[in-house]
Amino acid sequence: MNKITIRVPFVDLKLQHEPIQRQLQEAIQSVLEQGDFILGQAVSDFEVAFAAASGAAYGVGVASGTDAIALGLQACNIGAGNEVILPANTFIATLIGVIRAGAKPILVDCDRQTALIDLKEAAKAITPQTKAIIPVHLYGQMVSPSELLNFADTYKLLIFEDAAQAHLAQRDGYHAGSVGIAAAFSFYPSKNLGAFGDGGMLLTRDSDVAQKMIRLRNYGASQKYFHTEAGTNSRLDTLQAAVLYQKLPYLPQWNSDRLTIAQQYDKELAPLATAGIIPMENQSDIGHVYHLYVIRVDDSCPIERQQLQEKLTAVGIQTGIHYPIPCHLQPAFTNLGYQPGDFPQAEKLSKEILSLPMYPGLSSSQVKEVVAAIAHAVSTSKTEAKEGVGSREWGVG
């Protein structure tokens, strides 16, 4: 079998790192010389800088975005006996974080045009045990802060943001991480602001939440060998913090580059709307930071999502699916009692969505190449449909 040459990778981190390689190496060398590998100076420097950039008062670095959710909920006194509303259409870490905190997850459906949580559906799920809602700022777009705040005020709930994909995203005059009592971020390498390994952070405006989080991440210790809570070991490595601190000043430009790329995708893909290729809707204007650029391959398209992905792969264009199985249908969580059909929009989206290449440095010609390949695949499928082979219309493929 011939090896396929990758013409347009899904993500290319080298383009981001090469121009600042010396800075990154010097930052790492500085940590090596100081030897403060655990909760060193770079951690506190980055916590302060990222919180300030995001409009939050406090930042607490942890080992991963999942820990930021699980420990963050505990720091907000959310746990056993509490219900937490979250969307079925999210990465599994959101659900796992709620379960690890000891709370009961209550899943709800999403909006098919944006893939964000549907607050009308969330309102139907509220019970006397509901304590919080987790809006997932998916793909780089925030759930509307004004609608969230009205929702939380109406039902007397805490807002705990999952902002793992929304570094410096904005909407309604708010930054991601500044809307609720707290917010969880991930610094997984492919994120808009990524480390050289795993990492996460909780942002909060509440000093008590911040102090409890500081204890929880470090064995529940308020001082060395004095443990006031049953915490764990989840600390952002000093080496990772040093890398992130150097990258942070470039994040606004990288986000701007992503927006420019997304706008080109929108323009180039517009003629394919009548063929069922529909980009996810941007309701945030320039506040969308496009961690991912996602299209829907809907029922009117002559080619199915899997076939389209295979055709793109065959010509060296990498794509992804975020996410192919909604949380409620994951085998590990059948104990939650959900069934197929419970969240039709999330289930429909999981069969339609396709993430296209998106990263700072993706060229205009590469965007054109991706769209041309999609257009060719759609056109070829239309021809096959007329001939009676390989199309949805004829029940083949």
Nearest to 122 by CA among 114, 104, 110, 137: 110
Nearest to 135 by CA among 198, 81, 191, 181: 181
Nearest to 15 by CA among 289, 288, 188, 254: 254
CA distance 191 to 130: 31
CA distance 297 to 278: 7
CA distance 91 to 88: 9
Beta-carbon contacts of 89 under 8 Å, excluding residues fewer than 6 positions away, are 109, 110, 115, 117, 136, 138, 323, 326, 327, 343, 345, 346, 349, 350
Cis peptide bond prior to 293, omega within 30° of 0: no
Residue pair 386/306 in contact (Cβ under 8 Å)? The answer is no
CA distance 171 to 18: 31
- In degrees and rounded to multiples of 5, residue 135 shows phi and psi of -80, 125
Residue pair 149/383 in contact (Cβ under 8 Å)? The answer is no
CA distance 279 to 259: 14
Indicate which residue of 3, 14, 131, 191 is catalytic: 191
Beta-carbon contacts of 348 under 8 Å, excluding residues fewer than 6 positions away, are 112
CA distance 279 to 267: 10
**Which tokens sit at 170?**
């904005």
- Name the amino acid, one letter, at 169: A
Residue pair 190/292 in contact (Cβ under 8 Å)? The answer is no
List the helix and strand counts (H, then E) for the chain. 13, 14
Residue pair 183/203 in contact (Cβ under 8 Å)? The answer is yes
351 given a catalytic annotation: no
Q: Active-site positions?
A: 191
